[in-house]
Structure 1
Amino acid sequence: MEAAREVFAARGVDAPMSAVARRAGVGVATLYRRFPTRSSLVAAAFDDQLSVCAAAFDEALADPDPGHGLYTLLRKVCTTLVTDRGFETVFMAGFPASLDYDRERACAEERLTHLVRRARDAGRLREDFSPADIPLLLLAVSGLASQPPETAVPAAHRLLTYLFQSFQAVPPPRPAPLPPAPALDLSGLHRPAEHP
């Protein structure tokens, strides 16, 4: 399992099964005997992360300050999104062949909705803030996944902090200055297609 997690983190869930087998020190046939489909391997590899996500939700919901709980949860998710390409794919797009994943995702969405409502009801979030705004934030942050972790993590935290400040019902009077923005490698960006 560790080999699959490492390969998926570095290369995403579309990495060749041969790369997972090589990392595990087994043949491809051995890997397929244990996991007959890519879906079964991905589901097994990310089962632990689903448990970690559930624990992060528990911590956020237990925080007496629902705004702080939501921010802490989002910070953990953003960190994982930019450091684990496999998690980013599974988290953002899902992996439909895994029924457990669908159930876990539905549960996470319910818990996130509850957490957002608590923070909004406590006056920590703007009245027009909705749980549907969270995927927008996560999509923005996931764009940093192509950067090396030493750049991506501080950039993700900086972006999250700026966005979260804009979500607040009453912004802090004078937010503490953020660390300087890390230098991003923009050489891999493509120009958008021109539309007629």
Structure 2
Amino acid sequence: MIRNVTEHPVRLAKVRVVTAEVTHQLRSDARDNRVRILAVARAAFAADGLDVPIREIARRAQVGVATVYRHFPTKEALFAAAFAEAMATCSTIVEEGLAAADPWRGFCLVIEKLMAVHALDRGFSRAFTSRLPQAVDFFTQDRDRSLRLILELVRRAKETGELRSDLVLEDLVMALMANEGIRAESSELRAAASRRFAALMIQSFRANPVAEPLPPAVRLPLSAH
């Protein structure tokens, strides 16, 4: 049988196309697995703390333990990836507040935006306000840097006479912890409730409180769940 001189190149081209399609599908599946693992990890860390086993995260994400470790070699690496974006957002918010010409307005901006971020990511909020193991120093260092910048903003706002002089960092942490406890039927309602709570906190932090109109109230469940 005489083969056409173009037969081998054509077959090779087809093999390359099929290989590329399979590789693309594998990469897509890997991306999907990574996204699902991170989503499950955030929820697990929020509910059970950093002690939740990798095996349990794999089970909830419906992947093998080896798949989790292929993406995240250690639990600390998974923790870092799960909250990296939220931590970066918080840092940006604090820096924006410090850059404001009016320290009081900058302080208000930080409270409003930080509470919005924490309300929508309970896992991150719980991590931010918790005492974490030394193994997650990378997160603790970023968090502590943000807190130091907030303290500098607090100092400046006090000097304007707008912020009450007896406010301490623990008051802000307590407000964030209370904000994390907001329960609502949807993320939209949780965000709306957080805006109202932030407004209440800002009024209570002011040296001479002014009864300004609050954002609309949100109907919340009266029983814990």
The TM-score bracket by the shorter chain reads 0.7 to 0.9
**Could you say which residue in structure 2 is the equivalent of 1:93?**
130
Q: Higher relative contact order by CA 8 Å / sep ≥ 6: 1 or 2?
A: 1
Taking structure 1 as the reference length, the TM-score comes to: 0.82
Aligned residue for 1:125, secondary structure, equals coil
Q: How far did residue 9 of structure 1 move? A: 4.5
Note the 1:22-33 alignment, pairs <5 A: 22=62, 26-33=63-70
Q: How far did residue 149 of structure 1 move? A: 1.7
- Residues in 1 aligned to 2:187 and 2:59: alpha-carbon distance in whole angstroms: 22
1:52 is aligned to 2:92: no
**Could you say which residue in structure 1 is the equivalent of 2:120?**
83
In terms of mean alpha carbon deviation, does 53-62 or 38-47 score higher? Answer: 38-47
Q: How far did residue 171 of structure 1 move? A: 2.5
Q: How far did residue 107 of structure 1 move? A: 0.8
* Residue correspondences, number: 184
**Does the C-alpha gap of structure 1 residues 80 and 7 become closer, same or farther in structure 2, counting only changes over 3 Å?**
farther
- Residues in 2 aligned to 1:19 and 1:88: alpha-carbon distance in whole angstroms: 24
- Residues in 1 aligned to 2:74 and 2:184: alpha-carbon distance in whole angstroms: 27
1:3 is aligned to 2:40: no
**Among the aligned pairs, what percent are the same residue?**
35
* Contact kept in structure 2, 1:83 and 1:149, CA below 8 Å: yes
AA of the residue aligned to 1:179: P
**Any gaps of 5 or more consecutive residues in structure 1?**
190-196
* Contact kept in structure 1, 2:93 and 2:110, CA below 8 Å: yes
Note the 1:30-179 alignment, pairs <5 A: 30-96=67-133, 97-145=135-183, 148-172=186-210, 174-175=211-212, 177-179=213-215
**Any gaps of 5 or more consecutive residues in structure 2?**
1-33
**Higher radius of gyration, 1 or 2:** 2
**Once superposed, what is the RMSD of the aligned Cα atoms?**
2.3
Taking structure 2 as the reference length, the TM-score comes to: 0.72
**Does the C-alpha gap of structure 1 residues 136 and 119 become closer, same or farther in structure 2, counting only changes over 3 Å?**
same
Aligned residue for 1:45, secondary structure, equals helix
Aligned residue for 1:132, secondary structure, equals helix
Q: How far did residue 12 of structure 1 move? A: 3.8
* Contact kept in structure 2, 1:3 and 1:20, CA below 8 Å: no
AA of the residue aligned to 1:7: V
